[in-house]
Amino acid sequence: MTKVEKKQLPAFLVLTIISLIAALALAVTNEVTKGPIAAHAAAERNKAFAAVLPAASYNEMTIPEGHASVTGLFEAVDESGAVLGYTVVASASGYAGPVAVTLGVGNDGMVTGAVIGDTSFAETAGFGMKWKEETDRWEQFTLIDTVNGGSIEAITGATVTSGAVLNATNAAINCVNEVRGVDARDVVEKGTPAAPKVEQVALEGGIHEGSHRGFASDVRVQLTMDDAGVVTGLNIDAMGETMGFGTRATTEPEFAQQFIGKTAPFAAGENIDVLTGATITSKAVIDAVNEACAAPENPDAVPFNLGGDETGEPVVETVATPVPAGAKTGTGSGFGGGVSVTLTLNEDGTIATLDIDVSKEVPPVCNNILVDSFINQFIGKTGPFVAGENVDIVSGATFSSNGAIEAVNAALSAPEAEVLTSKGSGFGDGVVVNVTLNEDGTIATLDIDVSGEVPPVCNNILVDSFINQFIGKKGPFVAGEGVDIVSGATFSSNGVIEALNKLFETEAPAEEPVAEPVAVVETKTAKAEGFMDYVVVTVGLAEDGTIATLSIDVSNELPPACDLVLKDSFINQFIGKKGPFVAGENVDVATGATYSSNGAIAAINSLFPAETEEEASNVLTSKGSGFGDGVVVNVTLNEDGTIATLDIDVSGEVPPVCNNILVESFINQFIGKKGPFVAGEGVDIVSGATFSSNGVIEALNKLFPAE
């Protein structure tokens, strides 16, 4: 039998057929899934758009040329087709990849909402990732005016990501502004967000008032009611609460609207919804409204001024609570350092108000006596008070309770406290302090009035942590020696110290001689980049090379913020000194005018070379790796080759942890020694800044190679 051989297709032909079939299947699959994938992407996009500017639909627009950072531009329209505004997406390079910012911009030019991050967001957890995870931070963008500018607050330790958010925000706004026919320029800078504009209700009729303690301040309300007790109008002052959280009780009219048309009592979760992330403030508003509804009309009530002055600019009143006339103070023993009280009396001698200070006690148990149920036992009574008879002890806080009773009895027997008032200079018009003293001359109470300063930064000195540094002490006070300055409020902090020291002068100050004007031997002019253009400085130098006169030209910058660098408080920092100057070290920037301040500093420094060529030749420079871009060291040597001076530059690292290696305890480990250096052998690493510490060692060892 003849064997029949099977014919087989060549291998290459089989592979070709398989490849064609696979390609065809892939093409079919792609065609089938293309629609659902696109629909899913569009749904996700519209979800983000709805969060920043709700609309019936979003029509894609052509992105103008020159806006490479913008990846999407859409027109937001309502059901009738009317344009509500624009939604725009822009990206900028962050620490680990692109950082996307989605903005909504209304027809009035105000940002309506923001979303940070998309599926490509890959910033560092615990640092840059906060921009995407902590969505409450997005609320600050609604304070941005795309024409007149605004600020966003950077996240500490996420400098690169914060810079990317800023750059993407400006790129998005520039694109929208071009479409709207507005000059396209960067209008947003890093800083403290401006106070929001507030829509107030014009209250007609008798005003009822109420207040209650919130999270960080007293929350006040003013309302009107009809004859049936129905609330007809309501204004809420919660501007002393946490910005972007509690302040929303004032800035979001929808919250106040819940009370309109209803009668008291109001209760959280029953007839009033609290603000997410601001529960304490919300409940304070509810309590204040209930109090106002039960209070008689106040014919002397002055309507709140939260919405703006005659220029239309937002105004936030910063009214310090004055020390009440006739205030009395007393101290009592406790479990720790004792309890202090301040109280006021009614005309009949009964207690009207009582404030208890347990800052010297042992927390957290001592805080249990700060509740209304304990304090109210004293209100309306004359004393003396006895535990278990007319006052109940707080369970678990027996020592602090008895200390408070002892302090109240001491205050009732003490003479009325005299209120001493003094004023110190600040960044604006100055700081006023109202002080009462104990019998030994130490400070019993301290009230600070910053209404003449520049909000909102000046409000940072109104916290207990700053005020309590002075309680129980006598002046004079010195910044950095028992008294810490509040970061970002340097001028206002020093103003308080100055004002207090005027009250503790031991003898009449000698008349200061009028200083003769310093002769100017040379005038120099320089300029440096600011926020919009250039800042120009004209410096008059004295014979010894110090600055005798300084004028700053910000005519090309963005008013009114740039005008802050024209104040004497900023300029006088340079008078009588030589450069170079470093922001935060030997000069402070003007809060709210960071770019203009740094521009002025850079321009002045260009007139003061850091060192002569001869000095520069003796400085050895080296760089080591770190956590960010690396660490740079500048070293001078003694004649024997040991290190004489060591300067460390961590500007390329990730703050604030890297700054820990700038302390003397770390630097002094190298002074008077030769390398090479080994971590753990005569050199300790700074805890929490391992990479930066090793970077310094690496950089130094490059200058001291092993033999």
Q: What is the model's pLDDT at position 631? A: 85
Alpha-carbon distance of 604 to 254, in angstroms, equals 50
Between residues 455 and 470, the one the model is more confident about: 470
Percent of the chain whose predicted confidence (pLDDT) is above 70 = 82
Is residue 38 pLDDT above 50, yes or no? yes
Look at 344 and 191; give whichever has higher pLDDT. 344
What percentage of the chain has pLDDT greater than the value 90? 19
C-alpha span between 662 and 642 (Å, rounded): 20
Q: Tell me the pLDDT band of 29, cut-offs 50, 70 and 90.
A: low
- For residue 80, how far is the Cα from the chain centroid? 42
Strands (E), 61-136: 70-77, 83-93, 98-106, 111-116
More confident call, 388 vs 307: 388
- Spatial separation of the C-alpha atoms in residues 421 and 437, rounded to whole Å: 12
- The CA-atom distances, in angstroms, between 115 and each of 45, 147, 243, 626 are 11, 20, 19, 32
pLDDT at 317: 34
Predicted confidence at residue 225, as pLDDT, reads 93
Cα 479–Cα 484–Cα 490 angle in degrees, nearest 5: 75
Tokens representing 158 are 């996420």
Could you tell me which residues come within 8 angstroms of residue 178 by beta carbon, excluding any fewer than 6 positions away?
Answer: 64, 67, 184
pTM attached to this predicted model: 0.34
Residue 348's pLDDT band (cuts 50, 70, 90):
confident
pLDDT over 70 (residue 9): no
Instruction: From residue 268, give the alpha-carbon distance in Å to each of 215, 253, 272, 284, 690.
Output: 16, 17, 5, 10, 49
Higher pLDDT, 198 or 497: 497
H helix runs in 204-262, sequence order: 248-251, 253-257
Domain 328-413 has CATH 3.90.550.10: no
DSSP 8-state secondary structure symbol assigned to residue 117: -
CA atoms within a 13 Å half-sphere pointing along the CA-CB vector of 88: 29
Phi first, then psi: give them for residue 77, nearest 5 degrees: -130, 155
Which residues have C-beta within 8 Å of that of residue 621, sequence separation ≥ 6? Answer: 632, 633, 634, 635
Task: Tell me: pLDDT of 510 over 50.
Answer: no
pLDDT score of 355: 84
Identify the pLDDT of residue 210.
Answer: 95
The confidence band for 336, taking pLDDT boundaries of 50, 70 and 90, is low
Which pair of tokens denotes residue 674?
A: 């030769």
Give the pLDDT score at 312: 38
> How is residue 468 written in tokens?
């309590």
At residue 61 the predicted structure's pLDDT band, cuts being 50, 70 and 90, is very high
Residue by residue, DSSP assigns 337-387 as S-EEEEEEE-TTS-EEEEEEE-TTS-TTGGGGGGSHHHHTTTTT------B
Q: 482: Cβ–Cβ under 8 A, 6 or more apart, which residues? A: 469, 473
124 Cα distance to chain centroid: 21
| Pair 249, 219: CB distance under 8 Å | yes
Bridge pairing between strands 70-77 and 57-60: antiparallel
Torsion, Cα 525 529 533 535, to 10 degrees, reads -40
Q: Do domains 208-294 and 328-413 have the same CATH topology?
A: no
- C-alpha 694 chain-centroid distance: 32
Q: How far apart are the first and last CA of the chain?
A: 90
* Nearest alpha carbon to residue 682 among 668, 692, 695: 668
pLDDT at residue 460 in the model: 75
Give residue-wise pLDDT tens across range 230-270: 999 999 988 777 655 677 888 888 899 999 999 999 998 89
pLDDT band at 644; cut points 50, 70, 90? confident
Which phi and psi angles does 690 have, rounded to 5°? -60, -50
For residues 623 and 700, give the distance between their C-alpha atoms in angstroms, rounded to a whole number: 8
User: Rounded mean pLDDT of 84-113?
Assistant: 90
- The reported pLDDT for the residue numbered 509 is 42
Residue 166's alpha-carbon distances to 113, 392, 497, in angstroms, are 15, 56, 36
pLDDT score of 481: 76
Domain 208-294 has CATH 3.30.390: yes
CA 357 – CA 667 distance, rounded (Å): 41
Reported confidence tier of residue 165, pLDDT bands at 50, 70, 90: very high
Mean pLDDT over the full length of the chain: 80
Question: How many helices (H) does the chain have, and how many strands (E)?
Answer: 15, 26
C-alpha 319/C-alpha 325 separation (Å) is: 17
Confidence of residue 616 (pLDDT cuts 50, 70, 90): very low
The mean per-residue pLDDT over the stretch 680-691 comes to 80
Q: Is the pLDDT of residue 323 over 70?
A: no
Q: Which helix (H) or strand (E) holds 526?
A: strand 522-529
CA 45 to mean position of chain CA atoms: 31
Q: What is the DSSP letter of 690?
A: H
pLDDT score for 102: 95
Stretch 184-213: mean pLDDT, rounded?
Answer: 77
As a whole number of angstroms, the distance between CA 367 and CA 365 comes to 5
Q: Quick one: average pLDDT of 470-483?
A: 82
The DSSP element (H or E) to which 321 belongs, if any, is none
| Residue among 346, 329, 347, 328 at smallest CA distance from 338 | 329
> How much is the pLDDT for 321?
37
For 429-466, the pLDDT digits (tens) are 788 988 888 777 888 778 888 887 766 667 778 777 78
pLDDT of res. 308: 45
Helix (H, G, I), strand (E, B), or coil: what is residue 494?
helix
CB atoms within 10 A of CB 559: 8
Query: Which is more confident, 36 or 638?
Result: 638
Closest CA to 284 of 220, 356, 229: 220
| Cα 37 from Cα 202, distance rounded (Å) | 51
pLDDT of residue 36: 56
**What is residue 416's predicted lDDT score, i.e. its pLDDT?**
64
SS3 assignment, position 469: coil
Q: Quick check: 35 pLDDT over 70?
A: no
- How far apart are alpha carbons 52 and 69 in whole angstroms? 19
Q: Are 408 and 329 in contact (CB under 8 A)?
A: no
Mean pLDDT, range 64-87, rounded to an integer: 92
pLDDT of residue 635: 85
* 64-76 mean pLDDT: 92
Q: Confidence band (pLDDT; 50, 70, 90) for 354?
A: confident
Q: What is the mean pLDDT of residues 73-79?
A: 93
pLDDT tens by residue, 400-432 = 888 999 999 988 887 666 778 888 887 777 889
Q: How far is CA 303 from its chain centroid?
A: 29
Q: Where is 420: in which H helix or E strand?
A: strand 420-424
Q: What is the DSSP letter of 677?
A: -
Three-state DSSP string of 607-629: CCCCCCHHHHHCCEEEEECCCCC
Residue 673 Cα to chain centre, angstroms: 42
So where are the chain's domains?
A: 49-190, 208-294, 328-413, 420-503, 522-605, 613-703
- The pLDDT value recorded for residue 257 is 92
